[in-house]
A and B are shown apart, each in its own frame.
Chain A
Amino acid sequence: MPSFGADMDAARFVQWQVKPGQALKRGDVVAVVETQKGAIDVELWHDGTMARLLAQPGQEIPVGDVLAVLAGEGEDWQQLAAAPVAATVAAPPAAPPTQAQAPPASTAPTASVAAQHARMSPAARQRAQALGVDIEALAAQMPERVVALADVERAATTAAAAAPSRSTAMRAAIGAAMTRSWREIPHYHVGCEIVVEEPLRALEAFNRDRPVNERVLFAAVLLRAVAQAASDTPTLNGRFENGVFQPADAVHLGVVTSLRGGGLVVPTVHDAHRLSLSELMSQLRAVLERARNAQLRSSDLADSTLSVSHLGDLGAETVQGVIYPPQVALVGLGRVVLRPAVVNGQVVAARTLHASLAGDHRVSDGLVGSRFLAALTARLKTLEPGS
Chain B
Amino acid sequence: MNTPEALRQAVAHALRGIAPEADLDHVNPTASLREQLDLDSFDFLKLLIALQESVGVDIPEADYGDVDSLERLVSYLLRRQTRTA
Contacts and interface: CB of A to CB of B under 8 A. Distances in A.
Contacts of A211: 52, 58
B42 A213 contact: no
Contacts, number: 41
A166 B62 CA distance: 40
A215 B40 contact: no
A208 B41 contact: no
A130 interface: no
Chain B contact-residue range equals 10 to 19
A381 to B, nearest CB: 22
Contacts of B45: 212, 215, 217
Contacts of A288: 42
Contacts of A208: 60-62
Contacts of A207: 61
Contacts of A204: 61-62
A313 B41 CA distance: 7
B48 A314 contact: no
A350 interface: no
A212 B52 contact: yes
Contact of A260 (B19, B35, B49, B60): B19
Interface in A192-247: 204, 207-208, 211-213, 215, 217-219
B62 A212 contact: no
A226 to B, nearest CB: 17
Given A208-B61, A213-B49, A261 B21 contact: yes
A211 B53 CA distance: 11
B58 to A, nearest CB: 5
Counting chain B CB atoms within 10 Å of each CB, the highest count among A207, A288, A313, A314 belongs to: A314
A285 B45 CA distance: 10
Contact of A313 (B21, B40, B48, B61): B40
B59 interface: yes
B34 interface: yes
A207 B64 CA distance: 12
A197 to B, nearest CB: 16
Contacts of B20: 260
B38 interface: yes
A37 B49 CA distance: 27
A219 B45 CA distance: 12
A312 interface: yes
Contacts of B49: 212-213
A91 B45 CA distance: 52
Contacts of B38: 260, 314
A312 B59 CA distance: 21
A312 B41 contact: yes
Interface in A27-52: none
Contacts of A312: 40-42
Interface string B24-49: 00000000001100111110010011
Counting chain A CB atoms within 10 Å of each CB, the highest count among B19, B38, B48, B60 belongs to: B60
Nearest to A284: B42
A314 B19 CA distance: 16
B49 to A, nearest CB: 5
Contacts of B41: 217-219, 312-313
B37 to A, nearest CB: 10
Interface in B57-76: 58-62
A212 B42 contact: no
A211 B19 CA distance: 23
Interface of B: 19-21, 34-35, 38-42, 45, 48-49, 52, 58-62
Interface of A: 204, 207-208, 211-213, 215, 217-219, 260-261, 285, 288, 312-314
Which 5 residue pairs of A and B lie closest in terms of their CB atoms, listed nearest first?
A312-B40, A212-B48, A207-B61, A212-B52, A217-B41
Given A204-B61, A260-B21, 19 more contacts: A208-B60, A208-B61, A208-B62, A212-B49, A212-B58, A212-B59, A213-B49, A213-B52, A215-B45, A215-B61, A217-B42, A260-B19, A260-B20, A260-B38, A288-B42, A312-B40, A313-B41, A314-B35, A314-B40
